[in-house]
Amino acid sequence: MDKIAELHENLLSSIIDQSPVSTWIADANGTNLRQNAACRKLFGIDRDEQTVGEYNLFADPVLKEQGFAGLIRSVFEDGDTVRFVIDYDFSKVVNAVIQHEDITDRKKMEDELKNLATHDALTGLYNRAFFEEEMRLLSKERKVSTGILVIDIDGLKYINDAFGHQQGDRMLLAFSKILTRTFRPSDVVARIGGDEFGVLIRDVDEFKIWSITERLRSNLNVHNKSLKGNRSPINISLGYSIKNDNSKTAEQTFKEADDMLLRDKIPKREDVRRSILNVLRTTMLEKDFITEEHMERIRDTTAAFGDIVKLNPTEMKAFVLATELHDIGKVVIPDQVMNKVEALTQEEFEIIKKHPEMGYRIAEATPETAHIAEYILHSHERWDGNGYPQGLKGEQIPLISRMIFIMDAYDVMTNDRHYRKALNKEEAILELKKNAGTQFDPELGDVFIDGVLLNN
């Protein structure tokens, strides 16, 4: 072998030995010439072994057919790609070079990218792009009766705004599982909007698609009955239509289903709002921020206080509701902070102080409570301006917020807390008088003491 050929072969050998790609070289007679370190590691073989696993290169029918020439690829079930490369050495022997490349991670990434292109990241259902492509294909189909079902989750925006998107996401995931249980694997079930879902169901008639919607409602009822604690029930509106005429487009069918959904949704809007309000109350009860007894006491005291201050009927309703829900922002405060027995750190106290703003956001999100949002926001402001969140002073604080602050302080003082025993009525009245003009509106404080507390 001349110097150039020897140098060339040494360079090639060095590249093969250091390559991360598993490489096995055999001559034209099937004699094993060498394996690099990656090959030995892949197959678990010793340096001097003459075979690579149980694979017989020269028994491969494809190789025989190709006459030991060319580039051949085959993908095995374990995710490995095996590349057979036939080449000459620098003398006279024809070498078979087998390179094994582990493409498991690459295939996994490719599959994930394909999945992301067609599926919703949160729910795992098909996404809008895939649904629209299936709609396009549906328009070309002939003699196929296909139903389109569209579904909205009622009040999801209120849930997101009131309790945060994590709560809304949990609801979306729960509903997605219900959809998966309800429909066949062959049906196209997709999330086509924030709170909207679409389903394509082939080979249906009017009775069959109606039966499917009833099964969906039944599965939803089972889910809602199983809920515990302060979790919100899932309510839906739906519509459907069938493309059973070649002159009718998929777009027309979808619009008919969407129109039916709208007719289903409109009458329930007030019910949805009331349901959200009930969820707010239930959440406070479940988290033990208030009790039924507390609510009853507040209602009685609120009515008496409002009468003396001469609130009109609209103001009275707002006063009662705002008093009941003024601490609703605490539902999003971490339990480990709200239920802490030891003294709060400054950082934890700052978290607690955010609850009026959180309560404002929750109340603003729901039409049933939006009109009391400002009263909730300012229900912890002090007469001297040292309250929170905005440090309002005196009559800058809304009247109803000042009334709530006095009533709440009295109720807190006269009921046991984990950090202290309750004061009796007389002791609590002394505290109210002591803090009049600093914490409390002095005039309203006197009205509350003389007209409400000392009259009962």
- 243-268 pLDDT, tens per residue? 988 778 899 999 999 999 999 887 77
Specify the DSSP class assigned to residue 421: P
CA distance 35 to 28: 16
Specify the DSSP class assigned to residue 450: I
At residue 349, the pLDDT reads 87
Where does the chain hold its CATH 3.30.450.20 domain(s)?
Answer: 3-104
CA distance 172 to 125: 11
B/e letters for 301-317, b = 16+ CB within 10 Å, e = fewer, are bbebbbeebebeeeebe
CA distance 373 to 368: 10
Query: Kindly report the CA angle at 414 between 413 and 419, in degrees rounded to 5?
Result: 55
Token pair of 276 as six digits: 């959200």
189-to-5, 131, 147, 179, 203 alpha-carbon distances in Å: 64, 8, 12, 8, 15
Least confident of 94-103, 137-146, 376-385: 94-103
| 80 beta partners | 102
176 or 421, higher pLDDT: 176
CB pairs under 8 A, 24+ apart, for 438-443?
Answer: 438/382, 438/383, 438/384, 438/386, 439/382, 439/383, 439/384, 439/387, 439/405, 439/409, 440/382, 440/383, 440/402, 440/405, 440/406, 440/409, 441/383, 441/394, 441/397, 441/402, 441/406, 442/383
Least confident of 151-160, 180-189, 190-199: 151-160
CA distance 212 to 394: 61
At residue 102, the pLDDT reads 57
* pLDDT tens digit sequence for 268-314: 766 666 666 677 767 676 665 566 666 777 777 898 999 999 999 99
At residue 403, the pLDDT reads 96
Going by pLDDT thresholds of 50, 70 and 90, the confidence category of residue 385 is: very high
Token pair of 37 as six digits: 């370190």
At residue 242, the pLDDT reads 94
Going by pLDDT thresholds of 50, 70 and 90, the confidence category of residue 339 is: confident
At residue 334, the pLDDT reads 79
379 or 106, higher pLDDT: 379
- Residue 349, Cβ neighbours under 10 Å: how many? 11
Query: Rg of the chain over CA atoms, in angstroms?
Result: 36
Where does the chain hold its CATH 3.30.70.270 domain(s)?
Answer: 119-267
CB pairs under 8 A, 24+ apart, for 68-77?
Answer: 68/28, 68/94, 68/96
| 36: amino acid identity, one letter | N
Q: Which fold has domain 287-453?
A: Hypothetical protein af1432 (1.10.3210)
66, pLDDT greater than 50: no
Domain covering 119-267 in this structure, CATH number? 3.30.70.270
108, pLDDT greater than 50: yes
At residue 71, the pLDDT reads 33
Residues 6 or more apart in contact with residue 351 via CB below 8 angstroms: 333, 334, 337
330, pLDDT greater than 60: yes
| Bond before 389 cis per omega within 30 degrees | yes
128, pLDDT greater than 90: yes
At residue 178, the pLDDT reads 97
CA distance 448 to 438: 16
Specify the DSSP class assigned to residue 333: S
Q: What sign has the CA pseudo-torsion 395, 399, 405, 406?
A: positive
CB pairs under 8 A, 24+ apart, for 68-73?
Answer: 68/28, 68/94, 68/96
User: pTM score, two decimals?
Assistant: 0.59
Where does the chain hold its CATH 1.10.3210.10 domain(s)?
Answer: 287-453
| 28: amino acid identity, one letter | A
H or E stretch including 331? none
136 or 231, higher pLDDT: 136
At residue 246, the pLDDT reads 79
Domain 3-104 architecture: 2-Layer Sandwich (3.30)
Which residue matches tokens 């009295």?
410
| 198 beta partners | 150, 190
416 or 428, higher pLDDT: 428
| 344: amino acid identity, one letter | L
Contact present, 100 and 80 (Cβ < 8 Å): yes
Going by pLDDT thresholds of 50, 70 and 90, the confidence category of residue 422 is: confident
At residue 100, the pLDDT reads 52
For residue 288, give the nearest of 335, 323, 354 by alpha carbon. 335
Query: Kindly report the CA angle at 83 between 79 and 86, in degrees rounded to 5?
Result: 165
